Amino acid sequence: MHRSAPRLTRILACAAVPVMLVVAGCSSDSDSASKDSASSASAAPEAKKSPTVAPARFSKLPSPCDSIAEKTIEDLVPGTKSKSGTAGKSSDIARRGSCSWNGLDDNGVKGSQYRWLDVSFLRYDSDASLAVSGEQRAVESYAKEIAKAKATEGAKNVKTSPAPGVGDEATTVNYTLRKTDEDFTYATIVARTENGVVTLTYNGTGYAGAKNPSAADLTEDAVKAAKEAVASVATANK
């Protein structure tokens, strides 16, 4: 009877604590349970890593007013008052910028030819938090810029066609627009180069009986200028 006293004391001690503690402290399987717990912890999956996103190729934009050669400006915008162009306002010149030129070539009794040329640049960085690369963002912007050109208020006879040889992908949007009591012919080239989007618009009309420019002629000249603008992006990042 004396020999069983320690055993009775142990049983009473275990009975005096909560059931969960009995299982943890008094069970004969406590050692094996601890081992199982440690094993489960080591087998837990690793925390998810942030997705890898390709870095944007271009980190800079060219000066918009220097993106097209002066000789090209002379050819496309005769009579322009400023070959250096007029820069558009931008709160972040590393991500967006624009420039425009306009001129009236007065031929006296033969009438006059008016031309307007503008170019704009957009650049996109990669965003690791959204798992989106700069190029993917530029692809989305490219589609939006085309849609915007096609939806120009008052535009008539809107037509789109590929513009081969300009950047990674490019589209021409042609239309006519009535303003200042004249019919203007438009050619807009929207191009994507890596993580950048270039939109170039060239339009014109004839005054005082002069013949209006054809869409084909304007498009040919617009493509030429767009190629220069697109190339200037890569040059700015060398």
Q: Is the pLDDT higher at 226 or at 1?
A: 226
Q: How many residues does the chain have?
A: 238
Which DSSP category does 58 fall into? -
pLDDT of residue 93: 93
Cβ contacts of residue 219 below 8 Å, gap of 6+? 172, 174, 187
Cβ contacts of residue 211 below 8 Å, gap of 6+? 111
Please, which pLDDT band fits residue 48 given cuts at 50, 70 and 90? low
pLDDT of residue 11: 40
The position carrying tokens 């190339």 is: 231
The position carrying tokens 């200037």 is: 232
The position carrying tokens 């300009």 is: 166
Among the residue ranges 49-63, 74-88, 158-172, 204-218, the one predicted with the least confidence is 49-63
Q: What angle do CA 18, 21, 43 make, to 5 degrees?
A: 140
pLDDT of residue 78: 95
Report how far residue 202's alpha carbon sits from residue 185's, in angstroms, rounded to the nearest whole number. Answer: 8
pLDDT of residue 167: 98
Q: What percent of the chain has pLDDT over 70?
A: 79
- Total-model pTM: 0.79
pLDDT of residue 96: 98
Is residue 31 predicted with pLDDT exceeding 70? Answer: no
Phi, psi of 119 (to 5 degrees): -135, 140
Q: Is the pLDDT higher at 213 or at 1?
A: 213
Please, which pLDDT band fits residue 110 given cuts at 50, 70 and 90? confident
pLDDT of residue 107: 86
pLDDT tens digits, residue range 186-195? 999 999 999 9
Domains identified in the chain and CATH numbers: 5-43 (no CATH), 64-236 (3.40.1000)
Report how far residue 80's alpha carbon sits from residue 74's, in angstroms, rounded to the nearest whole number. Answer: 8
